[in-house]
């Protein structure tokens, strides 16, 4: 068991990758704080972790709001008396050509996919520094942290910033033995976008992928697990692509 006795706070854990991370961490002995804006889905994840023999609590929170983040961390402390790992996973994806992105779309994207990471990281790090306890943070970047695709300039901008926020936080928090890393998934079968519900669009994506299939949440969770475990003791500030080889492929081949 690689996370025996650890407590992990996972944001956006009511679905997709966050749910996969909760289940994978629980298999390795961690207790999980399942945070999501969608209360019923968070409760579903808690039930699934319980069915698998793990221990989890749900907290309904919009992690783009400071007041909700403070409540999330205080509920985590009440439930488990402390925590060791933060996975900043909550995210949204909307599509629009650059000429049509509205100010509201831009602001919400940056709030959910970037500001939430700052708020949760600051709250977690303040606790670990105060308690002199070591901590691990894993952020959800994307292949869009480095590569653009048409129709999501606001998402790509947020995910690019995740890469630099990860590095900046890693540098500042290293003296406290808090490491901060990011994973950059390629297309992963979740509810984040309609495209993943359409077999024809999935097949078209898979044609372009060296590995020949899109990822499942567990593929991403396995790498997040490594970065959250003691195996990553000396790794900080890194963005690891988990993309079946996509970002290594020469364009047009
Ligand atoms: N699925 C992919 O292909 C893919 C690829 C690269 C990166 N990612 C990233 O992985 C992360 C998880 O995405 P997913 O694919 O599992 O999507 P998903 O839609 O299945 O899950 C996202 C979860 O986040 C929650 N959420 C949204 N806004 C929130 C908020 N303000 N506060 C709290 N919770 C909130 C949603 O309710 C949902 O349960 C995101 O950061 C996403 O950008 C996903």
Tens digit of each residue's pLDDT (9 = 90 or more) over 244-253: 999 999 988 9
Q: Which residues of the chain have pLDDT under 70?
A: none
Q: Is residue 250 part of a domain?
A: no
Q: Is residue 30 part of a domain?
A: yes
pLDDT digits (tens, 9 = 90+) for 184-199: 999 999 999 999 999 9
Average pLDDT taken over every residue of the chain:
98
Q: What is the pLDDT of residue 3?
A: 98
Q: Where are the alpha helices (DSSP H) in 81-235?
A: 103-110, 116-131, 153-173, 199-207, 217-228
Angle between helices 153-173 and 103-110 (to 10 degrees): 30
CATH number at residue 185: 3.40.50.720
Does some domain include residue 251?
no
Tens digit of pLDDT for each residue in 157-180? 999 999 999 999 999 999 999 999
Cβ–ligand 1 distance for 88 under 6 Å, the answer no
Q: Is the CB of 11 under 6 A from ligand 1?
A: yes
pLDDT value for 33: 99
Indicate the pTM of the whole model. 0.99
Q: Domain residues for 139?
A: 7-243
What domain count does the chain have?
1
| 36 within a domain of the structure (yes/no) | yes
Atom of ligand 1 nearest to the CA of 93: 43
Question: Tell me, what's the pLDDT at 112?
Answer: 98
* 127 is known as an active-site residue: no
Q: What is the pLDDT of residue 67?
A: 98
Is 105 part of a structural domain of the chain? yes
pLDDT computed for residue 20 by the predictor: 98
pLDDT of 225: 98
Please report which residue ranges of 190-230 form alpha helices under DSSP H. Answer: 199-207, 217-228
Cα 112 to ligand 1 centroid, rounded to whole Å = 9
Closest atom of ligand 1 relative to the 42 alpha carbon? 39
Determine which one of 147, 155, 176, 234 is catalytic: 155
192 within ligand 1 shell (Cβ under 6 A): yes
| Domain assignment present for 39 | yes
Inside any domain, residue 1: no
Place of tokens 């970047």: 141
Residue 2 lies in a domain: no
* DSSP state letter for 252: T
* % pLDDT > 70, the chain: 100
Whether the CB-CB separation of 240 and 223 falls below 8 Å is answered with yes
């Amino acid at each position: 068991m690689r996370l025996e006795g650890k407590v992990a706070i996972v944001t956006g854990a009511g679905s997709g990758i966050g749910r996969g991370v909760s289940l994978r961490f629980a298999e390795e002995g961690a207790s999980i704080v399942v945070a999501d804006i969608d209360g019923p889905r968070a409760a579903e994840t808690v039930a699934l972790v319980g069915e698998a023999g793990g221990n989890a609590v749900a907290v309904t929170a919009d992690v783009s709001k400071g007041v909700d983040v403070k409540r999330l961390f205080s509920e985590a402390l009440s439930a488990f008396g402390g925590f060791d790992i933060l996975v900043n996973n909550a995210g949204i994806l909307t599509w629009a050509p650059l000429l049509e992105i509205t100010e509201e779309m831009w602001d919400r994207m940056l709030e959910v996919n970037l500001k939430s990471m700052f708020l949760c990281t600051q709250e977690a790090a303040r606790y670990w520094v105060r308690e002199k306890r070591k901590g691990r943070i894993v952020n959800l970047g994307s292949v869009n942290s480095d590569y653009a695709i048409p129709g999501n300039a606001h998402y790509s901008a947020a995910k690019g910033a995740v890469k630099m926020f990860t590095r900046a936080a890693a540098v500042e928090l290293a003296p406290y033995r808090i490491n901060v890393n990011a994973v950059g998934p390629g297309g992963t079968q979740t509810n984040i976008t309609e495209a993943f519900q359409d077999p024809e669009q999935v097949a078209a994506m898979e044609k372009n992928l060296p590995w020949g299939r899109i990822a499942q949440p567990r593929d991403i969770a396995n790498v997040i697990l490594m970065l959250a475990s003691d195996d990553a003791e000396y790794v900080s500030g890194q963005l690891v692509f988990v993309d079946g080889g996509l970002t290594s492929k020469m364009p047009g081949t």
